Amino acid sequence: MPLQPDDLRRFLTSVHPYDALDPDALDVLVPQFLIRQYKPGEEVYAAGVQLEGLYLVLSGQVEIRDENGVAVSLLGQRNSFGERGLMRDGTAATTASALDDTTLLLLPTYAFRELIAEHTAARRFFDRSRAARPQKTDLAHSRVESLMARAPLTVPPETPAQEAALLMREEGVSSLCVTNARDLIGIVTIRDISNKVVAGGLDTNTPVSEIMTYEPVTLPPSAIGSDVLHMMVERRIGHVPVTEAGQLVGIVTQTDLTRFQAVSSAELVAAISRARSAEEMAETTARIPQLLAQLVAGGNRHEVTTRLITDIADTVTRRLLALAEEDLGTAPVPWLWLACGSQGRQEQTGVSDQDNCMILDDSASERDMEYFAEMAKFVCDGLDKAGYYYCPGDMMATNPRWLQTVSKWREYFRGWIGTPDPEAQMLASVMFDLRPIGGTKSLYEDLQEETLEAASKNSIFTAHMISNSLKHTPPLGLLRGFATIRSGEHKNTVDLKHNGVVPVVDLARVYALQARLPEVGTRARIEAAIAAGAVSGSGGQDLLDAYDLIAETRLEHQAGLVKRGEKPDNYLAPTTLSDFERSHLRDAFVVVKSMQSAIGHGRGMLS
């Protein structure tokens, strides 16, 4: 029985983004869909052909394979496919085949282009690129949930005024929310106690219900920061409770607004540059999670946020190096401190250990080595105190192996390239992300150039590095879902670091080695690889879009934890995402898997 227009309309209203279209738009769209039926094993289209339009699964299953024949996705009812090619040049990048009796809805190319041109919801859904968002971090562009203090102190209405005052003094706050269960009924401030109890002559056992402000004005978490500011100015108040569905969820004070506007990477860098000890620096670095949440809330792109956060780690390191020389005396020979890992790539988030090493001038004597060993201990211990915990793999300058002369480092790299065993692959992966932080930079410049040239010319080493880059795989399940962690503390989550960001980091590093690119940052490496022809323009752009989505999802997850008063981590439960977000994230993982397949088959690019 043919599908009737009313049935098609009902189906579309159950699929995003069509459910966001108004009735008139659906009236125009419904007649444009064509119905296509396929038998098991029948090909819908092949890689490299011109797409007819956008496909939407009405029933059955469709398998998507990359250009190397590797299955990268299994789609079912309500899943769309083909949009990647349509958003680019109209050419299919993959092959699609029916696994069983399958009915597809085909929206012709012209109709698809009209849809995304005229409807923002559709354009946002189908456009996988992460266009630059406005980089605003002022109150007018920040939601109250990113400003408020969660779990504000509360007391019941019968609490004596003196007891309330003692609690405020002990906790260092200037107000208490008065609640009955979780329902907010009032707010009492230190000013209320001063004016009404002390100056007004009331008994100190007077219950706070008699001096509090009843039914104080509140705002929802979705309000913006300027709403709070305007309310405080207009009503001459310094505290605004935040409620959601009648429940108290937070509070914003004048201090919070001042702190928000004061917290910037520049302000933290300035404070660290004046610090006289690691303990002082720790007081400043403790504010990094708040900075992260603020930067994310302000719409900054992930590479901007991680660059600013890494700048703080660089400043801490340089300050500790300066304090070490003050304590130990001037260094006897030229030296260079380098960061590797996420700090080396300038991609630190709210969760960071330390990875570092030192390169010394070849004139360094055994006695000089003792000096630099003390310097390394001073700096690494200081970094740990400042919140950059010791590297679990001992990849630090305190390890004598990573505190060596230029000649020794040259020997290291030659050995790794010449004999690429598993340890050499791992070490090369870390050490190819080196970035000078403090000292004499010229000690590394020639070494980097020599190493890139030697690595790019050694096909066996490159092949081993490619193999190493495929060890971390995107968390894709067989049936349209995610392959989550099965047990333990992080059960039913995906690791956005090791199975999300790291696979892209590894691919970008291989591209850089193949093309002898000096860039260290992941995004910069992919962009340079596209320009150098180490990866195709279309495949590289897809990988950039996928990386942007995964990296920003990771930061948004960490920022969300910070807002809830929790420590940031990399473990995301897919169930916390909307259908829209899950669809995009899974598509990003599919792109990464496709690029891994391409480089694993010796092509290194995806058309």
**Contact in structure between 150 and 179 (CB atoms under 8 Å):** no
Q: For 32-47, what is each residue's pLDDT tens digit?
A: 999 999 999 999 999 8
Residue 369 near residue 588 (C-beta atoms within 8 A): no
pLDDT at 36: 93
* d(C-alpha 181, C-alpha 250), whole Å: 15
* Residue 606 pLDDT class (50, 70, 90 cuts): very low
pLDDT at residue 478, as a whole number: 60
Sign for the pseudo-dihedral over CA of 157, 163, 167, 168: positive
Residue 352 pLDDT > 90? no
pLDDT computed for residue 150 by the predictor: 82
Structural domains in the chain, CATH included, are: 5-126 (2.60.120.10), 139-253 (3.10.580.10), 264-406+434-446 (3.30.460.10), 470-600 (1.20.120)
* 64 residue type, one letter: I
pLDDT in tens, 372-429: 999 999 999 999 999 999 998 899 999 999 999 999 999 999 998 888 788 887 787 7
556/576 Cα distance (integer angstroms): 12
Mean pLDDT, residues 273-299: 89
171 by Cβ neighbours in 10 Å (0-12 / 13-18 / 19+) ranks as: exposed
Q: Is 55 helix (H, G, I), strand (E, B) or coil?
A: strand
Tell me the per-residue pLDDT of 516-570, one tens digit each, with 9 for 90 and over: 888 889 998 999 999 889 898 888 989 999 999 999 999 999 999 988 888 999 9
Q: How many other β-carbons are positioned within 10 Å of the β-carbon of residue 325?
A: 15
Of 15-19, 188-192, 232-236, highest mean pLDDT:
188-192
Residue 327, amino acid:
D
Structure-block tokens of residue 46: 């092949």
- pLDDT reading at 223 higher than 90: no
Q: Which residues, at least 6 apart from 493, have a Cβ–Cβ distance to it below 8 Å?
A: 484, 485, 571, 572, 573, 574
Q: What is the pTM of this model?
A: 0.70
| Tokens encoding 381 | 């211990």
Which three-class secondary structure state does DSSP give residue 37? strand
Tokens (6 digits) for 430: 């870390």
Indicate if the pLDDT at residue 129 is higher than 60: no
For residue 404, the surrounding DSSP H or E stretch is strand 403-405
Q: How far apart are CA 364 and CA 404, in angstroms?
A: 9
Is residue 240 scored above 70 in pLDDT? yes
Return d(Cα 243, Cα 250) in angstroms, integer: 7
Q: What is the mean pLDDT of residues 141-170?
A: 88
Give the closest residue to 510 by CA, choosing from 528, 497, 495, 490: 528
Q: What is the pLDDT of residue 97?
A: 93
Contact 289, 180 (CB under 8 A): no
Report the C-alpha gap between 453 and 301 in whole angstroms. Answer: 33
**Neighbour tally for 473: CB within 10 Å:** 15
* Average pLDDT value for the chain: 87
pLDDT tens for each residue of 306-344: 988 998 999 999 999 999 999 999 999 999 999 999 999
CA distance 408 to 417: 14
Give the pLDDT of residue 440: 92
Lookup result for tokens 């102190």: 153
* CA 603/CA 237 separation, integer angstroms: 65
First vs last C-alpha separation in the chain: 40
The average pLDDT across 79-92 equals 82
Could you tell me the CA-to-CA distances from 461 to 415, 416, 499, 555 in Å, in that order?
11, 8, 24, 34
Percentage of the chain lying above the pLDDT 90 cut? 46
Residue 36: C-alpha distances to residues 101, 107, 170, 566 (Å): 11, 11, 71, 50
Give residue 603's pLDDT: 52
pLDDT of residue 336: 97
Asked whether the beta carbons of 520 and 433 are under 8 A apart, the reply is yes
Mean pLDDT lowest among 134-143, 293-302, 308-317, 593-602: 134-143
Tell how strand 154-155 and strand 175-180 pair up.
Answer: parallel
Let me know: does 597 contact 68? Beta carbons within 8 Å: yes
Angle at 409 between CA 403 and CA 412, to 5 degrees: 115
Q: Which H or E run contains 343?
A: helix 341-344
The arithmetic mean of pLDDT across residues 562-582, rounded, is 88
Separation of alpha carbons 30 and 12, rounded Å: 8
Q: What is the 3-state secondary structure (H, E, C) of 126-137?
A: HCCCCCCCCCCC
Q: What are phi and psi of 518, to 5 degrees?
A: -80, -10
